[in-house]
Amino acid sequence: HYPHLFEPLDLGFTTLKNRLVMGSMHTGLEDRFYNYGKLAAYFAERAKGGVAMMITGGIAPNREGWLSPVGGTMNTKADVINHQRVTRAAHKYDSKIIMQILHSGRYGYQPFVVSSSPIKSPISPFKPRKMSIKNIEQTVKDYARCAKLAKQAGYDGVEIMGSEGYLLNQFLSRHVNKRTDEYGGDIQNRMKFAVDVVKAVREAAGEDFIILFRLSVIDLVKDGNVMDEVITVAKALEEAGVTIMNTGIGWHEARIPTIVTSVPRAAFVDFTAEIKKHINIPMMAANRINMPETAEEIVASGQADMIQMARPFLADAHWVNKAKNGQADRINTCIACNQACLDHTFANKRSTCLVNPQACYETELVYKKTKKPKKVAVIGGGVAGMSAAHVAALRGHKVTLFEAKDILGGQFNYAKVIPGKEEFFETIRYYINELEHLGVEIKLNTKVDKAMLEKAKFHHVIVATGVVPRSLAGKLEGADLPQVMSYAELLSGEKSVGDTVAVIGAGGIGFDVSEYLTAKHGQPLDELGPELLKDPSYRPKAQSVSEWREEWGVTSDTDYQTEGGLIKPEAIKPIRQVYLMQRTKGRLGSGLNKTSGWVHRAHIKSHGVIQVSGAQYDKITNEGVWITNNQGQTQLLRVDSVVVCAGQESVVELMPNVGDAPDAQYHLIGGAKLAAELDAKRAIRDGAEVAAAI
């Protein structure tokens, strides 16, 4: 299986056992010494899973380079001892481990920040101090010392972070670097700092040490480098002593999405391939590569020598072995939602994974084999129920999963048909395969009642009956008209809409529905028909890379001469006129997730969605929706159809009443426990935690 991915790579002084690398992710565990045991367990699990090499989250070479106050360090003997726990764990299971050295420059969330020029970034509150030449020279030494200590700690190498708009990138590109001394001006000068760092690290750490450099192959910002400049830098870095070149895509402040789920798979690989043509060291592709077919294709076609995946290793620690054993359909695929990894990082919380709550909790959320298998009923085949059934069966319990509908997956079946959310299909596929593999008895089209449950004598009943969309019938005049529908009726293909649509409620689902209604690559569900939508193997087609680039304004010319690879985005003609409305005042979508919300807001803006906030809904008639707007005036929005996205309500009929004492133990999880906004992260974790404890 995947012969190119599993061909070893000889680096001269050492060999990588395959071409698969876990990319750098700051999880939050590296910032506190008392968490290094947990960090070691996290890496050990991935090493066991067969990965050839792993890269730690960014560690600052000095205090100025901290990403946040008191971030992870490698400055002292004590640091060396902490890090040894990590390197031993990786080596125990035959994986190489690399420490990333990341100096945040002006992206640091702390007052000591420095940069090439004293220009504040649009995404951070601190204005940097311009680095003096002495300061630069000292920082070069700090990198070298840090690398030397990393070697002492047992790391097989270091990765020097030169992309994503961090310090070295701030020198490499004119976007920030306005210097007139020998570190500014043309590309020879702008790359001097990065080249000096590599030389110093090579000298300090010796020849038998892997040096990766994460190079920004496309900056995606104004005044960013052109491809010729990127190639010049790549060649100079090779010359200076880099062992493997890694790919970085876009600055954090870029207004082009680079890792969210709507970015097509392998969307940037041709830029990596362009660099590879000009250098002689191995080149690694990165970003939004999450399944073995994609990875194999990249290496087989010669676009890159190695594949880095970051979040896919949070989602499934055993990705590599599963691919090797021909079990790709059992991989828990990264759906690039960011909800439990990057969103947590930005909230200063430990990273984990929406589809794998064990990630970074390896020592805390343990699925122990049971000595006393019990009869477990799980009611509801959404992700909460499937997660519970999966973990319970994994532990050896005898599990029956009941689902009232004829399809497993619950709300994820609606999510997967939203343009740009096709990856959600993979989670349903994963669970269905796992449940079958573990011998869970699945009863579709089965509406369970209390009598039936009592008769079957289960030891545990896990109620995961989920939610129903909140209806406005009886609360808003006209809400029962035929052109008014719930998001579920729309996204299951049961009902269709006209050319003008009002969406009531601008939470996550209201945004999703607005995107579905306006995106030109969306599939018309009413044409597909409910039958296909009920087929769990139906995978909606994702946007192509070229369509996506045109929409966002990213060049398709790998030898691009436009700064940062930006081009003018296409002018979008929305396929429908949509009004997206909310009752509260203020900006729409302010409650969306930090790292993906801006992408959704940008979509509805570019697709001409009319945003209405502070609306009071008066009535719906055949003419449209009557509202009182935030100036107190009555207004008619003339629309053909209305989609209600006004939240959901828990379905809890099957929970016993307080005071009843049924034989079985009952547990309530997921949306059935708390409807609020749909929260798959909590649903999956609830399911896993309950099942881990029975």
Give the residue with the Cβ less far from ligand FMN, 98 or 688. Answer: 98
170 binds ligand FMN (CB under 6 A): no
Q: Which is nearer to ligand FMN, 288 or 460 (CB)?
A: 288
- Pick out residues in 435-454 that bind ligand FMN (CB under 6 A): none
Among 24, 62, 232, 427, binds ligand FMN (CB under 6 A): 24
Please report whether residue 157 would count as binding ligand FMN according to CB under 6 A.
no
Query: CB count, 10 Å around CB of 74?
Result: 25
DSSP string, 319-363: HHHHHHTT-GGG--------TTTHHHHHTT-----SS-TTTT-TT
Q: Is 381 in the site for ligand FMN (CB under 6 A)?
A: no
Residue 26 near ligand FMN by CB under 6 A: yes
Pairing, β 244-249 against β 9-10: unpaired
Residue 346, both tokens: 């930005």
Please report whether residue 25 would count as binding ligand FMN according to CB under 6 A.
yes
Q: Does residue 82 belong to the site contacting ligand FMN (CB under 6 A)?
A: no
* Closest by Cα among 364, 604, 640 to 490: 640
Stretch binding ligand FMN (CB under 6 A), from 306-314, 437-445, 470-478, 565-573: 306-314
Number of residues that bind ligand FMN (CB under 6 A): 22
* Integer Cα distance of 487 and 647 in angstroms: 10
Rounded to an integer, what distance in angstroms lies between the CA atom of residue 410 and that of residue 129? 52
| x-or-dash string of contact with ligand FMN, 116-155, rule CB under 6 A | ----------------------------------------
- Among 684, 686, 690, residue whose Cα is nearest residue 355: 684
Determine, following the binding rule CB under 6 A, whether residue 272 of this chain makes contact with ligand FMN.
Answer: no
d(CA 692, CA 694): 6
Minimum distance, C-beta of residue 348 to ligand FMN, in the bound complex (Å): 12
When asked if residue 353 is in the footprint of ligand FMN (CB under 6 A), the reply is no
DSSP 8-class letter at 623: T
Q: Which is nearer to ligand FMN, 430 or 579 (CB)?
A: 430
Q: Which of 513, 505, 466, 518 is nearest to 489 (CA)?
A: 513
Residue identified by tokens 């569900």 is 525
Nearer to ligand FMN, 286 or 643 (CB): 286
Compare residues 255 and 443 and give the one whose CB is closer to ligand FMN: 255
Span interacting with ligand FMN, options 71-79, 105-113, 282-290, 388-396, rule CB under 6 A: 282-290
Token pair belonging to 86: 């990590």
Closer CB to ligand FMN, 212 or 281, in the complex = 212
Q: Which of 96, 148, 202, 214 binds ligand FMN (CB under 6 A)?
A: 214
Q: Which stretch binds ligand FMN (CB under 6 A): 294-302, 340-348, 382-390, 460-468?
A: 340-348
* Span from 337-345, 490-498, 562-570, 662-670 in contact with ligand FMN (CB under 6 A): 337-345
Tokens 């010049």 map to which residue? 232
Environment class of residue 471 by beta-carbon count within 10 Å: exposed (0-12), middle (13-18) or buried (19+)? middle
Nearer to ligand FMN, 272 or 514 (CB): 272
| Shortest distance, position 220 Cβ to ligand FMN, whole Å | 13
Q: Among residue numbers 38 through 57, which ones bind ligand FMN (CB under 6 A)?
A: 57
The one catalytic residue among 166, 414, 430, 617: 166
- How far apart CA 613 and CA 629 sit, in angstroms, is 8
State the Cα–Cα distance between residues 514 and 501, nearest whole angstrom: 9
Count CA within 13 A, CB hemisphere, residue 54. Answer: 32
Torsion of Cα atoms, 412 then 413 then 419 then 422, to 10°:
70
Q: Which stretch binds ligand FMN (CB under 6 A): 203-211, 307-315, 526-534, 547-555?
A: 307-315
Pick one of 23, 162, 382, 385: the residue that binds ligand FMN (CB under 6 A).
Answer: 23
525-533 CB contacts, 8 Å cutoff, 24+ apart: 525/417, 525/490, 525/491, 525/492, 525/493, 525/496, 526/493, 526/495, 526/496, 528/493, 529/493, 530/492, 530/493, 530/494, 532/493, 533/413, 533/417, 533/492, 533/493
**Comparison of 5 and 479: residue with beta carbon closer to ligand FMN:** 5
Does 339 engage in binding with ligand FMN (CB under 6 A)? Answer: no
Amino acid type, 342? L
- Identify which of residues 351 and 427 has a Cβ nearer to ligand FMN in the complex: 351
To ligand FMN, the closest distance from the beta carbon of 500 in angstroms equals 37
- Residue 287 in contact with ligand FMN, rule: CB under 6 A: yes
DSSP summary character for residue 3: T
Contact between 286 and ligand FMN by CB under 6 A: the answer reads yes
Which of 51, 53, 102, 646 binds ligand FMN (CB under 6 A)? It is 102
E strand or H helix at 514: helix 508-518
CB of 59 to ligand FMN, least distance (A): 9
Residue 66 or 617: which CB sits closer to ligand FMN?
66
The residue from 114, 259, 273, 604 that contacts ligand FMN (CB under 6 A) is 259
Q: Is 288 in the site for ligand FMN (CB under 6 A)?
A: yes
160 binds ligand FMN (CB under 6 A): no
Q: Is 341 in the site for ligand FMN (CB under 6 A)?
A: yes
- Would you tell me the crossing angle of helices 36-48 and 77-92 to the nearest 10 degrees? 20
What is the rounded distance in angstroms from the CA atom of residue 180 to the CA atom of residue 182?
7
Query: What minimum distance in Å lies between the beta carbon of 620 and ligand FMN?
Result: 42
- Identify the residue among 220, 275, 295, 342 touching ligand FMN (CB under 6 A): 342
Binding of ligand FMN by 390 (CB under 6 A): no
Measured CA to CA, the distance from residue 40 to residue 363 in angstroms comes to: 10
**CA distances (Å), origin 63, targets 56, 104, 113, 142, 251:** 18, 10, 9, 10, 22
Distance in Å, CB of 290 to ligand FMN, minimum: 7
Q: Which is nearer to ligand FMN, 215 or 240 (CB)?
A: 215
Backbone angles phi, psi at 589, to 5 degrees: 80, 15
> What is the nearest approach in angstroms of ligand FMN to the Cβ of residue 618?
44
Active site annotation includes 516: no
19 binds ligand FMN (CB under 6 A): no
**CA 351 to CA 135: how far, in whole Å?**
33
- Catalytic residues, which ones? 166
Write out the residues near ligand FMN by the rule CB under 6 A.
23-26, 57-58, 100, 102, 161, 214, 259, 286-288, 309-312, 341-342, 345, 351
